[in-house]
Amino acid sequence: MSDASRTVTFTFDGQEVKCQRGETVLEALERAGIKHPSGCRNGQCWSCKCYVDSPDKAVSQSKLPEKMKKQGALLACTYHVDEPTTLFSLPPETLAEHALEGIIQNVQHLTDEILELTVACEKNIEGRPGQFVQMKREDGLTRTYSIAEISKEETKLRFHIREIPNGKMSSWLAHEDVSGNPVHLSEPQGECHYGRTRQDQPLLLIGTGSGAAPLYGILQEALAAKHREEIWFFHGSRNPSGLYLDTPLHKLTQEHSNLHYYGCLSGEENLAGTHQGRVESVAFSTLSSLTGFAVFLCGHPEMVKNAKKKAYLSGASLDEIYCDPFVAS
């Protein structure tokens, strides 16, 4: 069989790309050296969303709402091209997802690895903590970050971002004087937020590293809404410094009798008041049944994958397990 019979050509923003049979659009773009946002790579986070010239070709995208599919939206990480196709990402000024213009207001180092980024937006923000946005720098560099806090009165977004070794965006934020720099932000997206829950169901939140940040935002919303049922918050790190929300979480447990916090360490170091072991192992040994729970999982992709399976086997409904895997880039 010739190479031509095993490939199909599509265009992406006017550039021809050869796609091998069985390859996703995202894999083909990466092999061709074309930059495109990506995150979880399994259709959960939507950060690789792009558009096709004919909405009929997007009907197979079961993870996207009908409204988006009618606009021709698809996920590059799950979409397979089997015929010549035209794909594109429209300029930020004409895209609904690049609807917010922001200015970096402040960067604060919370730990040696994790920083808090505050972005002031030009208008009110329709979103909730736990959702994610795509943040695009002036030179086009784009990353996806989950929201730790939304200050609607001040039209500000806050993110907790782990510095990735040689990471272009995170290193820029951590080491350059970025205050005052403009950024383009997408509208908040995703289903990992408190609005998906009911007052009469217990909540389980499991996070690793900076994955605790969107969970902390979800928790704050739940407490502000006077959530009636029990709330279990498990935060995992290899080292004690990674449990950077330990103090405020312990304080909240003293103020709210229905909140239970477990700091978990998987490394050799120990810290008084913490639990030894991987965070998902501690969580599922603590809670044997998750029937009726809403489950939120944020952080390392492998943890999210394993915890999702364990949560389902423990009785949680798949429709009530909300995932936000953090992929380093």
Query: CATH number for the domain including 41?
Result: 3.10.20.30
What are the E-state strand segments in 182-246? 182-185, 203-208, 231-237
CATH of the domain at 147: 2.40.30.10
pLDDT tens for residues 141-178? Answer: 878 899 999 987 779 999 999 998 888 999 999 999 99
Q: In this structure, are 150 and 176 located in the same domain?
A: yes
Tokens of 82: 């089997």
Give the per-residue pLDDT at 105. 96
What are the E-state strand segments in the chain? 7-12, 15-20, 49-52, 73-75, 85-88, 100-109, 114-121, 132-136, 142-146, 149-151, 156-162, 182-185, 203-208, 231-237, 259-265, 275-276, 294-299, 321-325
Q: In this structure, are 217 and 167 located in the same domain?
A: no
Q: In this structure, are 215 and 305 located in the same domain?
A: yes
Neighbours of 22 (CB within 10 A): 9
pLDDT at 133 over 70: yes
Q: In this structure, are 314 and 205 located in the same domain?
A: yes
Domain end point (choices 41, 73, 89): 89
pLDDT at 96 over 70: no
Domain end point (choices 135, 159, 185): 185
Segments forming the whole domain that contains residue 241: 194-325
**Domain count across the chain:** 3
pLDDT tens for residues 231-285? Answer: 999 999 999 999 999 999 999 999 999 999 999 999 887 778 889 999 999 999 9
Q: In this structure, are 35 and 70 located in the same domain?
A: yes
Q: In this structure, are 137 and 228 located in the same domain?
A: no
Q: In this structure, are 301 and 213 located in the same domain?
A: yes
* Percentage of the chain exceeding pLDDT 90: 53
Q: In this structure, are 220 and 302 located in the same domain?
A: yes
Q: In this structure, are 250 and 209 located in the same domain?
A: yes
Q: In this structure, are 84 and 104 located in the same domain?
A: no
Q: In this structure, are 266 and 198 located in the same domain?
A: yes
Cα distance from N-terminal residue to C-terminal residue, the chain? 37
Domain end point (choices 185, 220, 239): 185
